[in-house]
Amino acid sequence: MTCPPSCARIRERAVARDARGLADLVIALSDAERAETARHLPDLRDELRGFGGYGELLRIVGAGVLSGPAATAAWLTRREFADPWPRLEELARVLATRPAGWQADVAARLARKIRTPDDRDVPLALAVLRATGATPPEHDPLVTAWLRTGPADDDPLLGPLLPRIFEAEGVGRELREERLTPAPTPWLSLIGRLLAAGRVSRAELLDGCLRRFLRGGDGIGLRFFVRLHEMLDPTPQEAAAHTRDYLRLLPVAPGPVAELALAQLRRGGPLEPADTAEAAGALTFRAESKLALGGLRLVEGETDGATGHPYAAELAAALATAFGHASYEVQGRAARIALKRAAALAPAGQILAEAVPLLPEALGVRVAGRFGGEAAREEQPEAFTPQPLPAPAAPEPFPEPTLDVWESVHTWVDGERWLAAFVRRAATDREGLRRTLAGDFGGGHPQVHPQESWVEVSDWIDALAAQVTDPEPASDSARPERAVGAPEQTIGGVEQTIGELLEAAWNGAVRLLGLHPSAGRMGGSRGGPAVGWILEPLAGPLGGPAARSQPSLPPADEVAPPHLFLLRRLDEIHRALRAGTLPPVLLATPTLTTGHLDPAVLVERLAECAAVDAAPLPADLAQALLRLPRGRHPEAAGQAARIGSPAAATAARWLAEGGLRDPETHVRWSYLDGATDRSFDEHEPAERPYQIRLRPVLRAEPTGLEALDELLTTRTRWSWFRSRGLLSWWPSLLPSHREIVAADYLPDILHPGVAARWVRNLADADGPAGEAMALVLACQVARAEPEAAALLVRMAARGDLPAEEVGAQVALLLRRTPHYQQRPIVGVLADAARQGAYEAVWRLLTRLLPALLPAPGERARVEHTEAVTLAADVAAWAEARGPIPEVSAYATAGGRSRFARACARLDDQLRQGGPVGRGRVHEGEEESVA
């Protein structure tokens, strides 16, 4: 189709990437020229695809020539035009020249396409709305997306969109981090400036906050509106005008909203008696002690000096509700008010008499003496005798090697079994191995995988099977050998076969569609496409079959060190198989399910290799040495030394000297302060930060073995997404040095977390359990994982639970992160203590308990009482001695609350018999991490 002159000029401006000149040209088109250019838009798009930034140019053209609003909106939001940093000034200028109704229609269509604040078309939609002045449609995601872009005093969208923040879903979550102190954050600051300038109505903002509160929601979703209401600081007259709204919030609103409402009711002046009774009934029903006590103060103030109050029944009902409150302090206050204001409450005495059984016995007897009723008798709990610790379970023998596990080779036990069986059969029965693998793997083998490096065990297993079922020589004339870990290079020139081109095309589709790498296999392999029929007839005429790509190791900064260590073992097996240098046996196959290797078995395998003059594989030898039990093994060392091979000599030295020396490990806590990464040790933040990073610090002495020294190198950042699939293998790689594995788990420990079964494997391993292992266990406790108590018991039974350090790490998690709650932690510790680990739990509590007490100025809550009660029980079971200063301070302060009584009981227990015992916090030790 011949391009008309107008289209040719547009193409010329587009090719020159002159966005401004292109916009001027499009704006100047006649109606006929617009229609003609619109017909040629697809051709222009095809022609410009090879130019960078062509999306911006095509958007400008489409905005100026397309006639239908729907077609225009669809054209502007084509995925191929997306740009992370779009330039929209010229596009907006073109749109502003179109008819007003057309502009409004296009703007509304673009806005309704937004689904989340991160949608790629958010900048486009907002730019069009601002440029055209069109009224934004009623669309909640548009409001949250607009808020995400940040405030600006001169934003034309402030007028139409700011009032909608009180109605749109998701606004509260989007603005949850907005604060008033130490200085207002951007949106609150902007609203303050608008108020001062008279650009927004104070009454409308206050009404909006109350409407949002009355719609309901959780505390996080309403946090911004609470702070906005605080900034508005209603006058007594304004508060009084909204009395009914505040009353409606008291029964069910989240705690901060209910506290706000109660404060405003007090600010608005004296309430009517009926309103006071309503508020008191709503507040005493609340579980929060602070709110329930606020309701009791209303009852006390309303009945002061009164006799036969007209709303005695409602006020008595509020007191009766408080009689059954979970807080002893609330119960005691309600009982005292009932007795003190008995004259005013006399007409409703029967209501109080019926509620007497809800009170503790001592309080109930007093109230029953005035109003009647029968006090409940408190049952004395049966004395609990904690059970002894269970005997630690012995590790089980490692299962026999077998090839019949190819579907589960991604698990470490079956992966090791398969590798051991494969190497043994490759040395003794290659033809039988080929027939077995041909049946298991369906005759398929991997070809050019879409990824540059292989990080999955199953990929390497497939490559080993392919090398046996369809051997490829070590030296391949069609493709030069790549260095280990180097990216694969594309080979150009006439030597590239059509088969390789088809493979490349297929693998490009695999990459585009996000399929599993196995989809790249040819010849009808498991799960792969049956495209072998395309290559098969072409292979002969074009010089033989297309060469398979060889497995490639990832760079060291892409995967975690234990992950790379495992991949090196797989890589050297594959290379030895291709070169014909495989030994008859793998040295590192464990003999126990913990991953440990019997020293005598290692010596037997070394002797077997030496008998046929086969050199063991280097990484396999390194892995075998790491799997030896801790300590010196002189008898095995002597036997290894007599073998005479270099590998046996290395093993002999290792066995005689006691193996790897424990590295020094440390945990570095840091957080993001804006764009700055700060260490907690250097600068403790004023508030708990949103994003925390845990980084391992590891220092090890060189061993002289390349694979081991690479494993023990300084830790850097790596891709946890690529390494997560093999985290379950790691404890078996270092079964005598669990602290190293625990350190490498740290970057993953807070989010999404390390599975309990992997931590159980670490608990069954050997080696010192230091700061990293304690933090791994602390996360299990803090999350109240179902296996958390069992893990503590398991390690306590073995005598290697770092209890004090675990307590310190749980305290840090509570202090530094917002994700954990106190009550589930106390529940885990109670379970562990009752299962026999009470002495270890007490040691843990000596470091954790100060963090479980109320903060300075904070009122004791139920969870504080539960923590001290558990500590008192466990201290008695463990016969612990030695006061804890933070507990003693509460005990000596007196008081009749349950919390005060629990503190007194614990303090008495710890002071019995003098300052000695297993729970003693020794002089000079750090007694609190809170």
For residues 492-517, average pLDDT: 43
Query: What angle is formed at CA 727 by the lines to CA 725 and CA 731, rounded to 5 degrees?
Result: 150
For residues 893-910, average pLDDT: 86
- Lowest-pLDDT range, 419-428, 442-451, 672-681, 838-847? 442-451
Q: Which amino acid, one-letter code, is at 731?
A: P
Backbone angles phi, psi at 193, to 5 degrees: -65, -40
Q: Which amino acid, one-letter code, is at 558?
A: E
Predicted confidence at residue 464, as pLDDT, reads 92
Predicted confidence at residue 208, as pLDDT, reads 96
| Helix (H), strand (E) at residue 561 | helix 561-579
Q: Give the Å distances, CA to CA, from 285 to 250, 279, 296, 737.
A: 10, 10, 11, 54
Q: Give the Å distances, CA to CA, from 628 to 235, 604, 635, 881, 919.
A: 75, 14, 14, 41, 36
Q: Quick one: which of 736, 811, 731 has its CA closest to 779?
A: 811
Which tens digit of pLDDT belongs to each residue from 218-270? 999 999 999 999 999 999 999 999 999 999 999 999 999 999 999 999 999 88
Q: Give the Å distances, CA to CA, from 475 to 480, 493, 497, 915.
A: 8, 20, 18, 76
Q: Quick one: which of 621, 603, 596 has its CA closest to 767?
A: 596
pLDDT for residue 147 is more than 80: yes
Predicted confidence at residue 4, as pLDDT, reads 74
pLDDT for residue 537 is more than 50: no
| Cα distance between residue 62 and residue 23, in whole Å | 11
Q: pLDDT tier at 126 (50, 70, 90 boundaries)?
A: very high
| Helix (H), strand (E) at residue 61 | helix 54-65
| Cα distance between residue 846 and residue 839, in whole Å | 11
Predicted confidence at residue 496, as pLDDT, reads 39
Which of 384-393, 429-438, 454-463 shows the highest mean pLDDT? 429-438
The Cβ of residue 228 has, within 10 Å, a number of other Cβ atoms equal to 23
3-class state of residue 804 by DSSP: helix
Predicted confidence at residue 632, as pLDDT, reads 96
Q: Are 386 and 836 in contact (CB under 8 A)?
A: yes
- Lowest-pLDDT range, 84-88, 138-142, 728-732, 870-874? 84-88
Q: pLDDT tier at 775 (50, 70, 90 boundaries)?
A: very high
Q: pLDDT tier at 691 (50, 70, 90 boundaries)?
A: confident
Which tens digit of pLDDT belongs to each residue from 374-419? 988 866 656 778 788 999 888 999 999 999 987 888 889 999 999 9
| Cα distance between residue 887 and residue 927, in whole Å | 11
Burial string for 202-224 (b: 16+ CB within 10 Å, else e) reads: eeebbebbbebbeeebeeebbbb
Predicted confidence at residue 104, as pLDDT, reads 94
689 cis-preceded (ω within 30 degrees of 0): no
pLDDT for residue 530 is more than 60: no
Phi-psi region of 394 (alpha: psi -120 to 50; beta: other; left: phi over 0): beta
3-class state of residue 361 by DSSP: helix
Task: Kindly list the domain boundaries of the chain, sorted by start residue.
Answer: 139-269, 270-371, 406-475+497-654, 664-699+737-852
Which tens digit of pLDDT belongs to each residue from 612-659? 999 999 999 999 999 999 999 999 999 999 999 999 999 999 999 999
pLDDT for residue 722 is more than 70: no
The two structure tokens encoding residue 694? 């845990």
Which tens digit of pLDDT belongs to each residue from 573-622? 999 999 999 999 999 999 999 999 999 999 999 999 999 999 999 999 99
Predicted confidence at residue 737, as pLDDT, reads 96
Query: What angle is formed at CA 817 by the lines to CA 815 and CA 818, rounded to 5 degrees?
Result: 105
Predicted confidence at residue 548, as pLDDT, reads 56
| Cα distance between residue 509 and residue 522, in whole Å | 14
Instruction: State the DSSP code for 929.
Output: -
Strand ordering across the sheet containing 692-699: 676-679, 664-673, 692-699
Predicted confidence at residue 139, as pLDDT, reads 94
For residues 190-213, average pLDDT: 95
Which tens digit of pLDDT belongs to each residue from 780-836? 999 999 999 999 999 999 999 999 999 999 999 999 988 889 999 999 999 999 999
What lies within 8 Å, CB to CB, of 467 at 6+ separation is 574, 577, 578
User: For all residues of the chain together, what is the average pLDDT?
Assistant: 85
| Cα distance between residue 370 and residue 350, in whole Å | 11
Predicted confidence at residue 211, as pLDDT, reads 95
For residues 279-305, average pLDDT: 91
More confident residue, 327 or 566: 566
Which tens digit of pLDDT belongs to each residue from 328-337? 889 999 999 9
The two structure tokens encoding residue 420? 């051991």
The Cβ of residue 744 has, within 10 Å, a number of other Cβ atoms equal to 25
Q: Are 667 and 775 in contact (CB under 8 A)?
A: yes
